[in-house]
Structure 1
């Protein structure tokens, strides 16, 4: 008897429906065809044990499982439940009448219980697009899939519940999530707040500008000056995620298996802080079975690279293209996947190996030439892609012990939102463009116009600092953001001067 069940394969952050055909005929062996990997070929042993322990039987005949389309490689153990239900239906142990209405996914344990899968959200979105009535999957993934409306989502704990459901001897409880309520309830719930930071008003100003325009930042200063503390509070002043951004971010985290059981949506902007020993693939994405890297997990949020010179040179250099294109492409011989990676980069570093070069009180003990060698670990092209270079100085005792309350994140965030609204209004009919940092060179020329006095000031700054053409564009973008924060239609001389001030740590100025 031939029966068809339906599962799904995830490539990038998109899902493709897989038809699982199960045919039982005379013979004794179990075959899986259609480019399965080792995990799928091993499914026989999991399915056999799971069925036995739940009161069913594995047919002692020839079972052929075909996974179509046959030219796409199928990977992982998430097809266990799809195949097992097909085997039960083909051997007449369950009713096959409504199998074509449901997408079924789940990894089986030997006792018949189900383990969570990756990519439940993109699979649910594809199921709704293809007009399936429902989606049956492990209980742990049910909330994640249930944010897709117009699709019945059933979270199950074991294969017996699925069999009883199709035999109509028991009903399944539908998982229901109010997407908008879930989204708005925790939209600005951040554990960290800018009011925790004493002093450092210049750095807070730089981060406010960065948040308003979506600019990349590098903080350079001695140990204990507050670089990491400030960076961790940056998401709290960014504009809240839109529902579209939240869904897109959740899809990436779903594919990577980073969503907890309690989470249905990623409602706050991601903050990713990988260790400096991270590999190129883990940072950018890829692998034999491509997975999103840290730069994609930081999509619509912040990627924080602490101790930037300690990262491998190759790992930093592969970020150059994604920083420009806001997308990373993983190419293999037979397929290519794209992961979005529109993130704000915030990096921090010490000025030298000992950390005390240019310190107002402590003496640097690094030998001659060491400082320049340390700083040269960061390439010019990567540095050019960082808009704001900010020197962080230690906080003195008076500021640390002061009872004066620092400004909270909320009023800063309100200013940032207003600046972003001006930018969105200016960009008009370009839905993918919502911050000054994303402007193309042509748009910079059209939008960031400066007067003759501004041109003269910028020319002197470029000659003195030895800035590149890319740095010229970055200064104009930052000055446009500063003008937006000030509510000014024109880029004034003071806006341009402040933007140039935040390039003062360019390569020629760092080591004296």
Structure 2
């Protein structure tokens, strides 16, 4: 699969949720970790791997065991790291992944896929009991909450006359432009590597954004790590919109969109 032709993975050919593509464009721009949630045959893995077409400088690595994953981290390889079917990983492996994410030790971009129930089938075909589904999600919750972004995919059929989506080359231009802004502002770092204190100094929340952040803390019970992830993602959304230059303020729409991608079970 690593040898899949790039033209097959071009975004103009991938008929998946526009929301999922938007989320991955944000993830690519700031190197924010992201998880694609959904049943089998919804294009999660293909979409994750297709990010090589909007991030041409990151090689794709898709480890099939915890041993191969450890090797990636030990050699500090900058890459697009795709962890497929994270829900099938055992507890020891998941704990190790969480530890690495907490330490921000992967130098590239981490994308994962998982199914929301044990069988991995769509709702109409799923025969998992509510108890089994709840236990499945509870087991994965600590890992899910470590990600900066999450989106749920479903089966989607393209309409007969549906126009082609944007080509990867066009998306890549926006990604590169947003990264250029970040490198200049953040001393050659992307937003996922910037502290909350630095964000407060370089791209602070405006007053409406501050009020929304307070509400998010109250209703989502955000940890300090999750607060940082939200602010980092919101900064990248501002960079993609061109709103961080010349007025370096993080505004309510940027934060609201970041909150909409907050990892949780639907």
Mind listing any 5+ residue stretches in structure 1 that lack a counterpart? 1-188, 242-268, 285-292, 328-340
For residues 140 and 177 of structure 2, what CA distance do their matches in structure 1 show?
34
Residue number among 375, 378, 387 corresponding to 2:140 in the alignment: 378
SS in 2 for 1:460: helix
For residues 499 and 325 of structure 1, what CA distance do their matches in structure 2 show?
22
Greater RCO, 1 or 2 (C-alpha within 8 Å, sep 6+): 2
| 2:187 is equivalent to residue 439 of structure 1 | no
Residue number among 456, 474, 488 corresponding to 2:211 in the alignment: 456
Name the larger-Rg structure: 1
Residue matched to 1:308: 86
Residue number among 157, 168, 181 corresponding to 1:396 in the alignment: 157
Aligned in 2, Cα 1:219/1:199: closer, same or farther, shift over 3 Å? closer
Aligned in 2, Cα 1:225/1:417: closer, same or farther, shift over 3 Å? same
Residue matched to 1:348: 113
For residues 463 and 356 of structure 1, what CA distance do their matches in structure 2 show?
34
How far did 1:342 drift? 0.7
Residue matched to 2:36: 219
Residue matched to 1:282: 68
Q: What RMSD, in angstroms, separates the aligned Cα atoms of the two structures?
A: 2.2
For residues 211 and 80 of structure 2, what CA distance do their matches in structure 1 show?
35
How far did 1:501 drift? 0.3
For residues 480 and 454 of structure 1, what CA distance do their matches in structure 2 show?
12
How far did 1:202 drift? 0.7
Residue matched to 2:227: 472
TM-score for the superposition, normalised by structure 2? 0.88
Residue number among 132, 148, 168 corresponding to 1:387 in the alignment: 148
Aligned in 2, Cα 1:283/1:395: closer, same or farther, shift over 3 Å? same
Please tell me whether the aligned partners of residues 32 and 192 of structure 2 are also in contact (alpha carbons under 8 angstroms).
Answer: yes
| 2:59 is equivalent to residue 270 of structure 1 | yes
Aligned in 2, Cα 1:469/1:484: closer, same or farther, shift over 3 Å? same
How far did 1:456 drift? 1.9
Residue matched to 1:229: 46
How far did 1:424 drift? 0.6
For residues 483 and 423 of structure 1, what CA distance do their matches in structure 2 show?
11
Aligned in 2, Cα 1:466/1:372: closer, same or farther, shift over 3 Å? farther
Residue number among 177, 181, 189 corresponding to 1:418 in the alignment: 177
Residue matched to 2:186: 427
> Which structure has greater strand proportion?
1
Residue number among 131, 137, 143 corresponding to 1:369 in the alignment: 131
Q: How many pairs are equivalent?
A: 257
Write the deviation string for residues 9-51 of structure 1: whole angstroms up to 9, x where unpaired. xxxxxxxxxxxxxxxxxxxxxxxxxxxxxxxxxxxxxxxxxxx
SS in 1 for 2:140: coil
Mind listing any 5+ residue stretches in structure 2 that lack a counterpart? none
| 2:194 is equivalent to residue 408 of structure 1 | no
SS in 2 for 1:369: helix
For residues 495 and 294 of structure 1, what CA distance do their matches in structure 2 show?
33
Aligned in 2, Cα 1:363/1:465: closer, same or farther, shift over 3 Å? farther
Please tell me whether the aligned partners of residues 272 and 297 of structure 1 are also in contact (alpha carbons under 8 angstroms).
Answer: no
Please tell me whether the aligned partners of residues 210 and 388 of structure 1 are also in contact (alpha carbons under 8 angstroms).
Answer: yes
How far did 1:349 drift? 0.9
TM-score for the superposition, normalised by structure 1? 0.47
For residues 298 and 348 of structure 1, what CA distance do their matches in structure 2 show?
22
